[in-house]
């Protein structure tokens, strides 16, 4: 597998120019972009998601937190979420709370705080106070399926938080609520 350095050597360009060309930045001539992409294809270049994440601040991954994975409901929802994420160019990282005692502790106090994901999907979960606090600290955009958002305030007919929601990290349909890029929840 080739990297930016190999493409730069093969094209006679700097690593910085190759990087900008691969990201299709306007400061690079269209002919240079085409030449770099052709060479990248020839060499079998596959961008490193870790390197891209460092450069852009985005991981193109969404964490999905499930209470168990051996029930038909969760399997079906995971299949649907994975299909939509792939269509949008995102990877799915699964956080399973079942199994060994301590999985919840690991997920809520270590795993989701590692900045490996751009957003969270929470499936039918009940949160304790410490878990709610950890989720609020992450400020991840969050989508809740089959339950209340951990930061929501409930009235007789609706669940909302303030301030008003900003643009979500990605959009979908058929969901009960979403948390925007500002880390706030919007419920339908």
Query: In this structure, are 129 and 183 located in the same domain?
Result: yes
Return the pLDDT at 150. 59
Query: In this structure, are 19 and 77 located in the same domain?
Result: no
Stretches where the chain sits below pLDDT 70 are 1, 53, 55, 101-102, 113, 147-188
Residue 21 structural domain: 4-47
Query: In this structure, are 93 and 14 located in the same domain?
Result: no
Return the pLDDT at 15. 93
Query: In this structure, are 35 and 127 located in the same domain?
Result: no
Query: In this structure, are 12 and 34 located in the same domain?
Result: yes
According to DSSP, the residues that pair with 187 across neighbouring strands are 177
Residue range 97-150, pLDDT digits in tens: 887 766 777 787 777 767 788 998 988 777 778 887 888 888 888 888 876 655
Return the pLDDT at 1. 66
67 CB-near residues (< 8 Å, 6+ apart) = 74, 97, 98, 123, 124, 125
- Whole-model pTM: value is 0.61
Query: In this structure, are 42 and 134 located in the same domain?
Result: no
Query: In this structure, are 160 and 103 located in the same domain?
Result: yes
Return the pLDDT at 84. 94
* Torsion on CA atoms 51, 54, 55, 59, rounded to nearest 10: 80
Query: In this structure, are 13 and 87 located in the same domain?
Result: no
Return the pLDDT at 151. 60
Q: Residue 143: inside a domain, yes or no?
A: yes
Q: What is the DSSP string of 94-160?
A: EEE--SSTTHHHHHHHTGGGS---SEEEEES----HHHHHHHHHH---EEEESS--TT-EE-SS-EE
Query: In this structure, are 24 and 76 located in the same domain?
Result: no
Query: In this structure, are 20 and 113 located in the same domain?
Result: no
Q: Residue 139: inside a domain, yes or no?
A: yes
Q: Residue 53: inside a domain, yes or no?
A: no
Domain total of the chain = 2
Q: Residue 52: inside a domain, yes or no?
A: no
Pairing of strands 142-145, 119-123: parallel
Distances (CA, A) of 11 to 20, 23, 90, 128, 145: 14, 16, 30, 56, 48
């Amino acid at each position: 597998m080739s990297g930016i350095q190999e493409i730069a050597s093969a094209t006679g360009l700097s690593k910085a120019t190759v990087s900008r060309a691969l990201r299709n930045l306007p400061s690079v001539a269209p002919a240079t972009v085409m030449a770099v992409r052709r060479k990248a294809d020839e060499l079998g270049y596959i961008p490193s998601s870790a390197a891209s994440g460092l450069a852009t601040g985005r991981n193109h991954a969404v964490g999905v937190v499930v209470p168990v994975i051996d029930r038909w409901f969760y399997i079906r929802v995971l299949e649907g979420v994975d299909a939509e994420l792939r269509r949008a160019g995102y990877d799915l990282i699964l956080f399973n709370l079942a199994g060994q005692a301590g999985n919840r502790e690991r997920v809520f106090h270590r795993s989701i705080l590692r900045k490996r994901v751009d957003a969270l999907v929470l499936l039918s979960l009940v949160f304790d106070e410490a878990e709610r606090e950890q989720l609020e600290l992450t400020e991840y955009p969050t989508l809740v399926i089959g339950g209340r958002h951990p930061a929501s305030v409930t009235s007789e007919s609706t669940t909302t938080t303030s301030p008003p929601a900003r643009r979500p990290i990605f959009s979908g349909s058929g969901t009960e609520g979403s948390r925007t890029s500002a880390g706030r929840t919007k419920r339908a």
